[in-house]
Amino acid sequence: MEKSTLLNEILEFNHQFVEKHEYEKYETTKFPNKKMVILTCMDTRLLELLPKALNLGNGDAKIIKDAGAIVSHPFGSVMRSILIALYQLKAKEVLIIAHHDCGMSGLKAEPVIESMKERGISEETFNTLTYSGINIEQWLHGFDNVTESVVHSVGIVKNHPLMPKEVPVHGLIIDPKTGKLDLVVDGYKN
Ligand code: ZN
């Protein structure tokens, strides 16, 4: 789709959507009916598949998405979102759902950096970031093993100093084709 038409098409559709009261069938509250917060990947295949495969409708869950379903920093925005969901939005359980064939699996920083350079980011910019103490390679790096990544992220959430102790944190991997879930960490058991 052309860059110049995408936004216009969205706005045009949106006007009709509101005009025809299409939103009425989605009306719900900000509190998750099923009292859970899910962290999953931004993968396009999961957009509709994941909620359907988990029997989730609008209003059922808080869903946080990032590249890889990774909690990369204990005081980053993902962790903050999980804590807000638990303390302010009545979520009672956490599910971290990564998936097979993830773009972050085996992702190396080098090709991404090369691509940035080709798109006009200067060598000087990278040098400045390095001098500022930012490790771009580490920051861009994905994971080598999806199961280990899920276990690691579950650990960060479960052991976070601000986590309520009784909250179960589950770890799962979803198949982006069939929607099948594999249980990695059963949060009721640890
Ligand atoms: Zn992914």
Domain boundaries, given as residue ranges, for the chain: 28-103+144-185, 108-141
pTM over 0.85: yes
Look at residue 4 in the predicted model and tell me its pLDDT: 75
| 96 CA to centre of ligand 1 in angstroms | 12
Q: Exposed, middle or buried, 133 (CB in 10 Å: 0-12/13-18/19+)?
A: exposed
Mean pLDDT value across residues 141-149: 95
| pLDDT (tens digit per residue) in 86-104 | 999 999 999 999 999 999 9
Element spanning 19, H or E: helix 3-19
Write out the two tokens for 123.
Answer: 């060598």
Look at residue 190 in the predicted model and tell me its pLDDT: 72
Q: Count Cβ atoms below 10 Å from residue 102 Cβ, excluding itself.
A: 23
| 44 CA to centre of ligand 1 in angstroms | 8
Q: Mean of the per-residue pLDDT values for the chain? A: 95
| 7 CA to centre of ligand 1 in angstroms | 25
Residue 105 one-letter amino acid: S
Q: Domain 28-103+144-185 class?
A: alpha beta
